[in-house]
Structure 1
């Protein structure tokens, strides 16, 4: 992600020149941001999708597809059209001055807590696959992320926009392999899931889906609004948001089916994806562990950047010092609780607040669309077709 500072404003943009490449880069950035430790490890898909059987995989999956696509398109198109001086103004745009301020500050807190989940995820990978202390993985991630954010985010959108689709394709491949190689099978897994002690995001798949979209959109809000500011056209903004949302949701469904087909073996595991990878070969599992760490890295960077840049301009001394402080604080918190508990507490509770913002977005979007239609109808001569 390139950063150019003019005065006190920081602009994020992709260097891709072709329209099609830009659209794919925007979509890839969405996927890379959403992958994180939860999706890449499989823990997120377990708690939000597979834990509810077919209703969770397909019901949650289709609801997520529609709503993630909606919010991604909205954030990119509004950012492109409104050209906010600060990305956080997106909350005021939808929720008004005072409620918007609440969502603004709440999202900053949640984004920081999400960074701690990334730390916990890296620690879990080192513990479960490499048999090393969790603090090595957590602290190692913190150092890499802090250094990246310290030196700036040059071309990050282009980089993670290409890494994101690759990780999603690998995850889809693992899901398909899990379905093919499963001893239990999808149908049997659906029958067994209710009898297993699997941690769920909610007591019903619908509320789990709303919570999932809620926390995803709190992640995406400022990031996509800032990115949308530099998208050349509304058409590219819509295409990028739709592509990213659809592909990510479909990958969740496929991975969810793979986990459901192996539900007895993956239940209770911190890193379910490594179980599927181990069925192929130990070497594949080691490579997948690196993929998971890459997914965590691509999400942890914009999360930490979002918090630091909210308070101080990118590149300033105060920004750099705050980055180091937040990185260290996040490491302490992230290594305190087990990874699956971190996902369940941080994502689920904050997801419900995000779901409230989602409801507001839907109402405001419909109202603004109707207002524009009334304006067009008023300005169009009666004898001309609309």
Structure 2
């Protein structure tokens, strides 16, 4: 019983690690999709958390039931053979571009620390490879270590700020709009990365209980972090002016705390890149009979030159292209359990 709960907990932490990327941890995504709508942001977060929970449980259940090894196996179940081939190509490109963006983000972070861009790219690349050579187990174990640390630090920063700033700020830029479309869009925005990672975990799951416990654990963890960031940002005057809203919660004279938050943001970049490349490796391994270590090494070498295009340029061009793709996959996934033919 304890072993199954521990396995479920590690699954939940892996879901959190896949979802809490640099945009989430920095507060930027929470501000754009939720906080900017004012008080109703709390309702938006509840919608998003519900969809996250259902989506994660459905993917894990399909992966466990059909013993899938990569996201393409899930696509075939959801879309059939014809459409799945088209979406396979689009998702592959999405994961590659996302990986490029994260590696470039690591380089940009090192530049902010007055260190060379290539050093940031190189260190995160080595760190990714060292985990991927251990397969799915490596990804799960890493998230089991890093996620509690990131969660505790973000919660502590939020609680400290709220204790010093009890009153809400405002007005908020989108307070006159309904928040629910933004909440659905946000879940869709994160769906492909979740699909890429969770679809590889079916053979490591022993019971339905692990899936349910993992889904519940992840939603509690994500809910605590997202709500804390949101409630904190609701109290920051003119928070829209900050490129990294999380820094607005830290007094300017707290150098050590600023350094800790910078490390948390880098770790969020790292875990996102790791999740994306993990999904790519297991998709490629389905076609090429090589070890995860060899495939990940070659894939990282392929990606590195593209990081010099520039972090900001990559985000501006590539992210909007995949909005419709993600929303479609989310819709099919949510409807899948209710189809009578399944």
For the criterion TM > 0.5, the same-fold answer is: yes
Q: Does 1:364 align with 2:340?
A: no
Relative distance call for 1:284 and 1:221 in structure 2 (3 A) is same
Work out the CA distance in 1 between the residues paired with 2:293 and 2:160. 48
Counterpart mapping for 1:64-79 below 5 A: 64-79=48-63
Question: Which of residues 56, 71, 84 in structure 1 aligns to 2:68?
Answer: 84
Q: TM-score, normalised by structure 2?
A: 0.86
**Cα distance change on mapping 1:263 and 1:103 into 2, 3 Å:** farther
- Written as runs of structure 1 = structure 2, the 5 A alignment for 1:272-283 is 272-278=245-251, 281-283=254-256
> How far apart in 1 are the matches of 2:160 and 2:247?
12
Give the structure 2 partner of residue 326 of structure 1: 302
Give deviations 1:134-156, integer Å, cap 9, x for gaps: 55434442343345446766533
Q: How does 1:61-210 map to 2 (within 5 A)?
A: 61-84=45-68, 86-128=70-112, 130-132=113-115, 136-146=119-129, 148-149=131-132, 155-182=138-165, 187-189=168-170, 191-193=171-173, 205-210=179-184
Provide, for residues 169-217 of structure 1, a one-character-per-residue CA deviation record: whole Å limited to 9, x for no partner.
Answer: 32222222232333xx65323x14459xxxxxxx863332222111322
Normalised by the size of structure 1, how large is the TM-score? 0.77
Cα 1:278/1:174, change in 2 over 3 Å: same
Question: What is the CA–CA distance in structure 2 between the aligned matches of 1:124 and 1:178, rounded to whole Å?
Answer: 27
**Structure 1 counterpart of 2:15:** 30
1:244-295 Cα offsets, whole Å, 9 max, x none, are: 134213421220221221142x433333223323468221111222222222
User: Where does 1:222-301 land on structure 2 (aligned, <5 Å)?
Assistant: 222-264=196-238, 266-278=239-251, 281-301=254-274
Q: Is this contact kept in 2: 1:41–1:271, CA < 8 A?
A: yes
Measure, in 2, the Cα distance between the counterparts of 1:347 and 1:211: 13
- The 3 A distance-change label for structure 1 pair 324 and 60 is same
Distance 1:259 1:69, change over 3 A: same
Q: Higher relative contact order at CA 8 Å, sep ≥6: structure 1 or structure 2?
A: 2
Q: Distance in 1 between matches of 2:210 and 2:318?
A: 33
- Post-superposition Cα deviations, 1:330-352, rounded to whole Å, max 9, x if no partner, equal 4224xx142xx755654454233
CA deviation string 1:62-91 (max 9, x = no partner): 111110000100011111111135442101
> Which is higher, the Rg of structure 1 or of structure 2?
1
1:121/1:100 CA distance change after superposition, 3 Å: same
Alignment correspondent of 2:4 = 19
In structure 1, distance between residues paired with 2:219 and 2:302: 30
SS at match of 1:18: helix
Unpaired stretches in structure 2, ≥5 consecutive residues: none
| Cα offsets for 1:336-372 (capped at 9, x unmatched) | 142xx7556544542332111121122221114xx67
How many residues are treated as equivalent by the alignment? 338
Change (3 A) 1:332 1:149: farther
CA RMSD between the two structures: 2.9
Runs of at least 5 residues in structure 1 that lack an aligned partner in the other structure: 1-15, 196-202, 373-386
After superposition, the Cα gap between the structure-2 partners of 1:43 and 1:343, relative to the gap in structure 1 and judged at 3 Å, is farther
Question: Does structure 2 conserve the Cα–Cα contact (< 8 Å) formed by 1:188 and 1:261?
Answer: yes
